[in-house]
Each structure stands twice: as structure tokens, then as C-alpha cells.
Structure 1
Amino acid sequence: MKQMDRRLLILTRLREETAFRAADLAEECECSVRTVYRDIDALCQAGVPVAAMPGEGYRLAPGYHLPPIAFTVEEAVQLLLGSDLAHGLGTPEQREAARSAAAKVEAALRPDTRAETDRLRHRIRVSDWMRREPTPWLSLLQQAVANDQVLWLQYHSFSSDELTERKVEPYSLIFYGEDWHVVGYCRLREGMRDFRASRIRDAQLLPERFERMAGMLLAEDRSRSTPEEVRIWVEQSAVPWARETPAFGFDREEPAEGGAVLVYHAWDLRRLLPWVLSWGASARVLSPAHVADRVHREAAALAQRYADA
């Protein structure tokens, strides 16, 4: 980290209400404690009133205010791109907050910085496709995660293809795979589960609160089943495109004659089979044998569908 960036980070931390120890600042800045001492001394010499709190650490003296932050072009572009992304991911209230924040960033830019930022934003931008309506349950899910409230869900499970009612203790809300996911403890299944928002058919926020348990991670619950390693050969002409859109459970790629072998850790073969079949004759399951046989039977059934076409 550059010296100026490090001192700005230290200054930002010292603005917070909690005092920071030199060791904590050194860890965050990835430098030595001695370097932190030198940086704090330099800030003091520059007129920044850093107060040393015995037994607590450092913080800024009460009543001290930093001057307005001057964004670089790169910083402004990244912040505004993030605001554009938020338009397609958040609730209506959050989209409005993102627009308001973007306006404040733009208002804080110097004229020359604003002109260059505008020029780049016309060339580097977020597609309008991202500006779609998210799940109707997003606001409710966020409230449940923020306030540790139990959720009642009517959920269409992919693995069992069943519509079930669940009571869930939501630990986190994560966006990946083009959708929001609630990760939490399912009282019906008695374990941590991942609930895709688009599969929620109905949801209610219950008045009951739950107490978070330390170490409750989704990964730890994988012990309920063991993933199966599936090796799939893909011919060379299709490798770049298969690499671009891997199926769920992708682990690694290995070189192979005439192409590459993509190795998957599959908990549910139904997630993997459509991906394999989508590549037609350009892909072939090498192992295990029962998966190759399953693909063979699916391909034969597909051919039969078109026998009279």
C-alpha cells in the first residue's frame, strides 16, 4: 500500500468513535507497527489532532472535521459503476439511495475530474439489462437478516421438486448466480441451507427472533452428503465457451488430448446433466460410468423425441 493511501486509511479509521490500537491499524494496512507510529507522527506534524487514549489506542480529537474528499477519476468511475449495478439488485428504496449517492459523488468532483469521468462513463457502463426488478421478497429478506427474525417460506426445492413450507433462521443474504440467496438454518431439514430467492413462492416475516450461533456456515453442512467427482472431456473448439459458462460445482480444468477435461464436484447430477447435453457431441463424460450411462440414456430419449421430426 502506498504511503498516502495508508495514511488516508489510518485517518479514516481514527474518525470512528472507537479508538484503534497501533497493532490493529498495522494489520489492516499490512505494515509494521513502527510504520504506523511514523504515519501518526506525520499526521500530527501536518496539523491533524491525533489523541492517544491510554489503554485504548488512537483517535481524532473531538470536534475535528476532515476537509472534503477529492476523488480521482478512477475512484469516481468505480463508485458510479457500483451505483449503476445497485439499480438492478436492490429494493426501490435502495435504488433511490444509490441514485442519491451517485449525485453526491458527482457533485463533489472537480470540474476537470467530472469531465473526464463523464467521458469514461459513456465508454465503461452497466448494461440496461441489469436494471430489472429483483425478487419481490427482497425487502422482507433484508429485514429478516438485519433483525435476526425467523422467516416462514413456501419454497420450491430444486433437488426434490417439491413445494414445502419452511421456518428459516436467516444468517446472510448473498447475490451470486444472477439471483439473491438466503443462507440460513432450516428447521425442517435441521441444517444450513441455501434458498434461491426466485424459488420462493411466498414469504412472511415472523415476530420470533433467533440467536445466531457462532460458526454456522453453509460449507460445514455439506457433510450431509459427499459430492461426486465427475470428469468431462470437452473438445478444443468448445473449451473457451465451456470455460466461460461452467455448470454449478466446477472445480478445475486439466489439459487433455484434443481438448480439456473439466472436473466437477457434483452434489446433484440434475444440475450437471443439462450442461453436458447442451454441448452435444463436443462433450463426453469420462467418469464415473453411471453418469456416462445416464447421459447416454438422456441422449437416446432426446433422439426418440425427434424420431418423427
Structure 2
Amino acid sequence: MARAERLLELMQALRRRRAPVAGGALAEELGVSLRTLYRDIAALQAQGAAIEGEAGFGYVLQPGFTLPPLMFTLEEVEALALGARWVEGRADEGLARSAEDALAKIAAVLPPERAAALDWPMLLAGAARAGEAERMALPLVRKALANERKVRFGYADKDGRRTERVVWPVAVGFFDSVMMLAAWCETRTAFRHFRLDRMAGVEALPDRPPKPRRTLLRDWRRTQGLEG
């Protein structure tokens, strides 16, 4: 690949990592020699890139460093459009509008031949439309997640039995046919999963969970065997 393209690929490789990465791993990923990798690192540093590290230690792009705008590849445009179109069909009105606005902003900075990929897509997303109960519950749950608040709602299990729940929300999972809230349930004193289409009377409470959401997310991942 051309050197300019290789330097951008190197920056992207560093952006994907939070911990220092060995030069050998970067060189292998980019398909270049270690000597070339060291020269490219030095070139980026000379241009102002906040890359720290050295041979034998590893390299890391410092947090907070802002890259200049990079042009999207055609595949990146297709991936972004596919995801945004899926969100438009599956999520609530607020998220759907945000997805549409994001595509408009992307289209505004693309050259015409790549912007055309948004108007004449090769990949189509066939998301099932959210039901009314999901459309009503999702924005309330999202707001509670953003503000780190407890949530109260009535819940019907698969047999139709209704209970009142107060939960500490962790995250919402989007699946083919359902949306699922992962949360710590005060009634069950354990992590549980709740279908949004079975919720009623969703209300964000003024109380904060006793643990921050990041801690809850880490604990939930551990219980699901998603870490380590």
C-alpha cells in the first residue's frame, strides 16, 4: 500500500488499542518490516501524533489525542449505513432520528462517488419494527441508563403473571425480535433480563443505584461468563 495509506492504517491500529502494543504485532498487522514500522512511528510523531513508547516496550496513542478527519473507505461507508438503517427500523423515534442525522453528516463530507453508496446501498438491513410497548419503554430506559437512575415497571412473565420490579439498569440488548434490559433486580437480588415488550408503566426513579453503571456492567459480564 502507499505510504500515506499505511500511516493512516497505523494510526487506526493504535486507536483500537488502549494498552501499549508491541512493534512486532503492529508490523505484522500492517504487513511491513519492523524497521519500516519504526520509521512510520517516527514520521507520525514528527507530525504531532501523541504516540508514546519505544522499541522493546510497545506503543500507545495517548488518550484525548484527536486525529484530523479521515476519509471513509467504501466498505466503512457501507458498514455505517447498514448499522444506521437497522437502527432506523428497530429503535425508538429518538435513536432513529439520530441515525438519520448521522448519515446526513457523513454524506456531507463524502466525495460524490462514496456518498452514492448511501442513496444506492448494496447492503440492506431488514430489522423487525419495534412494537408499541418497546417504543414507549426504550426512551425511558435509555434516559435512566444515561442518568444512572433506578427504574420501576410492571412486568409480565411468559405465563402472563405480573409483578412490580425496581431494577438497576445495566444495558439494553437488541436482538432479532426482542429488546432485552439487563439489570440488577431488587426483588430477586440478582441480575435478571427483562423484555421491553413485557414492561408497562416504566418510570425512572430519582434514586441512583448503589453502584455506578460501569461497575454493574463489569459484574454482569462476569456473571454471564463474558470476561476472562
TM-score (norm: length of structure 2): 0.71
Q: 1:151 maps to which residue?
A: 151
Shift of 1:89: 2.7
Greater per-residue strand proportion:
1
Q: 1:9 maps to which residue?
A: 12
SS at match of 1:44: helix
- Provide closer, same or farther for how the CA distance between residues 166 and 23 of structure 1 changes in structure 2, counting only shifts above 3 A: same
Shift of 1:84: 1.0
Percent identity over paired residues: 21
Q: Is 1:215 aligned with 2:216?
A: no
Q: 1:81 maps to which residue?
A: 82
Q: 1:111 maps to which residue?
A: 112
- Provide closer, same or farther for how the CA distance between residues 216 and 118 of structure 1 changes in structure 2, counting only shifts above 3 A: closer
On the 8 A contact 2:91/2:135 being kept in 1, the answer is no
Shift of 1:171: 1.6
Q: 1:167 maps to which residue?
A: 166
Letter in 1 for 2:11: L
| Structure 2: gaps spanning 5 or more residues | none
- Provide closer, same or farther for how the CA distance between residues 205 and 21 of structure 1 changes in structure 2, counting only shifts above 3 A: closer
Letter in 2 for 1:48: Q
Which structure has the larger Rg over C-alpha atoms? 1
- Provide closer, same or farther for how the CA distance between residues 170 and 219 of structure 1 changes in structure 2, counting only shifts above 3 A: same
* Counterparts of residues 44-55 of structure 1 (less than 5 Å): 44-45=42-43, 48-51=47-50
On the 8 A contact 2:150/2:167 being kept in 1, the answer is yes
Shift of 1:39: 3.6
Q: 1:260 maps to which residue?
A: none
On the 8 A contact 1:88/1:132 being kept in 2, the answer is no
> C-alpha distance in 1, partners of 2:123/2:152?
41
Aligned residues: 208
The CA RMSD over aligned residues, in Å, is 4.0
**1:37-69 C-alpha deviation (Å, 9 max, x unpaired):** 9546414326532345589x7547x99752x32
Q: 2:124 maps to which residue?
A: 125
- Provide closer, same or farther for how the CA distance between residues 65 and 205 of structure 1 changes in structure 2, counting only shifts above 3 A: closer
> C-alpha distance in 2, partners of 1:173/1:79?
20
Q: 2:142 maps to which residue?
A: 142
Shift of 1:70: 1.8
Shift of 1:148: 2.8
TM-score (norm: length of structure 1): 0.54
> C-alpha distance in 2, partners of 1:132/1:175?
13
Flag as ranges the 4+ runs of structure 1 deviating above 6 A.
24-30
Shift of 1:6: 4.2
Q: 1:305 maps to which residue?
A: none
| Structure 1: gaps spanning 5 or more residues | 15-19, 221-309
Shift of 1:181: 0.7
